[in-house]
């Protein structure tokens, strides 16, 4: 089977611009004019106006090793930078004189029979205790109270059982729905135990991370003692490994770490219940494509994938418009990892505020885009010319 492949954007184009460690929203200048704030202390939560503000706030108070762990990316961090900047390549084609008044009541989604109030979720990310002593408990509680999905990380600071203990009885599904992320271990008996623990505590789906076959080059982390991080597994996973995992659980399995149309198609052919587009936040392989690039590659080559299974995506999402762009291409739900880690320096209240900011941005951007519900989103609302210029057209496309 031959495919159309998406070419990587040239690194030189990105290198021509200054690298902003934290996106400038005017927050730093605003705080500098406030007599009640001192650099190196946590700004007032009421002054947070956007998702990037949480990153600036977190940098003020996180210890060096905690900041490095959350912020690090692979190699010279090209992939991380591209994740944030590539959204500029896809313009929105707003339509007007449309009925948009009911959008606020129509941003909910359904995944595997479960309903959520918004099309984004808290993505799996390890070691939330760097930001707050209650760590992932804040994520579970805030997600439950706001009726969004929480995808718990295997290497969370809190155990699967501790997270289960704080689940809410939410308004949409009864008992709070949590998906559990899993890595395979070199000792597969540990993996089977993790799957059993997830099932016993009521996880509704398994998110199997496949993009960590070995350790990665993480220069920023290597500068801090103990942070030359190896990946969770160096196991040489194959489709045989997937088949073994499949035989061990009745839960839906979503494969996380898809960055090519080839792997998306292969995942469906091997029986995955869902796919999860992600380049691990740019933390595994430098020059790996962003989620919007991979989503476009799938849309351009095998659009039927979006109809066959739910498609999730994460990496570099910071705005409501980022979510809308991915949904317009066919993605079902969009994850955010680092933003919630940064918001967690404020504890539960910070996580709730981040959720509400995103909900509001999706509604306001959706109004101005001209949609009355998420069902109105489609590729015609996107100017994809720049992405199309980066497509190398081969002789045949994917077929279902």
Each residue's pLDDT tens digit, 337-349: 999 999 999 999 9
Residue with tokens 């959008």: 103
With a cut of 70, list the residues of the chain below it in pLDDT.
1-21, 214-234, 390-400
Backbone angles phi, psi at 181, to 5 degrees: -80, 140
Per-residue pLDDT, 234: 56
384, exposed or middle or buried, with CB in 10 Å at 0-12, 13-18, 19+? buried
Helix or strand (DSSP H, E) at 30: helix 27-32
Please indicate if the annotation marks 184 as binding a ligand: no
Please indicate if the annotation marks 315 as binding a ligand: yes
Residue 176 CA to residue 200 CA, distance in Å, equals 14
Per-residue pLDDT, 60: 96
Please indicate if the annotation marks 209 as binding a ligand: yes
Cβ-based neighbour number of residue 358 at 10 Å:
27
Per-residue pLDDT, 328: 98
Please indicate if the annotation marks 332 as binding a ligand: no
Each residue's pLDDT tens digit, 269-280: 999 999 999 999
CB under 8 Å to 185, separation ≥6 — which residues?
191, 194, 232, 233, 235
CB 104 within 8 A of CB 366: no
Please indicate if the annotation marks 364 as binding a ligand: no
Please indicate if the annotation marks 318 as binding a ligand: yes
Please indicate if the annotation marks 183 as binding a ligand: yes
Please indicate if the annotation marks 278 as binding a ligand: yes
Q: Where are the alpha helices (DSSP H) in 175-309?
A: 188-200, 219-222, 239-248, 261-269, 291-301, 305-308
Per-residue pLDDT, 72: 87
**Helix, strand or coil for residue 306?**
helix
**Helix, strand or coil for residue 92?**
strand
Look up 270 and say whether it is catalytic: no
Residue 314 CA to residue 278 CA, distance in Å, equals 5
397, exposed or middle or buried, with CB in 10 Å at 0-12, 13-18, 19+? middle
Domains and CATH numbers, the chain: 89-227+234-389 (3.20.20.70)
Beta strands in 238-396 (DSSP E): 253-258, 274-277, 311-313, 333-336, 382-383, 391-392
Residue 37 CA to residue 21 CA, distance in Å, equals 21
Strands 114-116, 109-111: pairing is antiparallel
Please indicate if the annotation marks 65 as binding a ligand: no
Please indicate if the annotation marks 17 as binding a ligand: no
CA contacts within 13 A on the Cβ side of 129: 7
Q: End-to-end CA distance of the chain, in Å? A: 11
Q: Please tell me which residue in 130, 132, 270, 280 is annotated as part of the active site.
A: 280
Please indicate if the annotation marks 289 as binding a ligand: no
CB 198 within 8 A of CB 248: no
């Amino acid at each position: 089977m031959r495919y159309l492949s998406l070419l990587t954007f040239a690194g030189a184009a990105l290198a021509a611009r200054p690298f902003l460690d934290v996106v400038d929203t005017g927050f730093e200048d605003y705080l500098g004019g406030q007599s009640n704030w001192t650099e190196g202390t946590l700004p007032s939560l009421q002054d947070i106006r956007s998702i990037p503000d949480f990153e600036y706030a977190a940098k003020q108070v996180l210890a060096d090793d905690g900041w490095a762990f959350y912020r690090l990316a692979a190699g010279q961090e090209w992939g991380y930078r591209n994740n944030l900047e590539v959204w500029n390549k896809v313009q929105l084609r707003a339509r007007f004189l449309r009925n948009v008044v009911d959008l606020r009541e129509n941003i909910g989604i359904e995944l595997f029979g479960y309903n959520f109030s918004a099309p984004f979720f808290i993505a799996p990310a390890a070691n939330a205790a760097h930001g707050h002593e209650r760590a992932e408990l804040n994520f579970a509680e805030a997600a439950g109270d706001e009726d969004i999905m929480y995808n718990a990380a295997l290497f969370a600071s809190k155990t699967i059982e501790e997270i289960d203990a704080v689940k809410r009885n939410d308004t949409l599904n009864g008992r709070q729905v949590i998906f559990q992320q899993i890595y395979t271990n070199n000792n597969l008996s540990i993996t089977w135990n993790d799957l059993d623990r997830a099932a016993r505590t009521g996880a509704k789906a398994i998110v199997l991370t496949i993009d960590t076959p070995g350790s990665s080059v993480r220069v920023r982390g290597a500068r801090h003692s103990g942070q030359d991080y190896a990946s969770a597994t160096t196991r040489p996973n194959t489709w045989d490994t997937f088949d073994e995992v499949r035989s061990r659980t009745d839960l839906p399995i979503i494969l996380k770490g898809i960055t090519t149309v080839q792997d998306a198609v292969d995942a469906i052919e091997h029986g995955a219940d869902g796919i999860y587009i992600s380049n691990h936040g740019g933390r595994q392989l430098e020059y790996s494509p962003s989620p919007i690039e991979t989503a476009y590659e799938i849309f351009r080559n095998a659009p039927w994938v979006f109809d066959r299974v739910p498609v999730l995506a994460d990496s570099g999402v910071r705005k409501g418009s980022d979510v809308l762009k991915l949904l317009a291409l066919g993605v079902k739900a969009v994850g955010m990892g680092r933003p919630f880690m940064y918001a967690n320096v404020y504890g539960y209240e910070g996580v709730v505020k981040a959720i509400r900011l995103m909900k509001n941005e999706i509604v306001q951007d959706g109004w101005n885009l001209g949609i009355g519900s998420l069902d109105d989103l489609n590729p015609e609302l996107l100017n994809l010319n720049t992405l199309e210029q980066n497509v190398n057209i081969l002789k045949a496309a994917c077929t279902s």
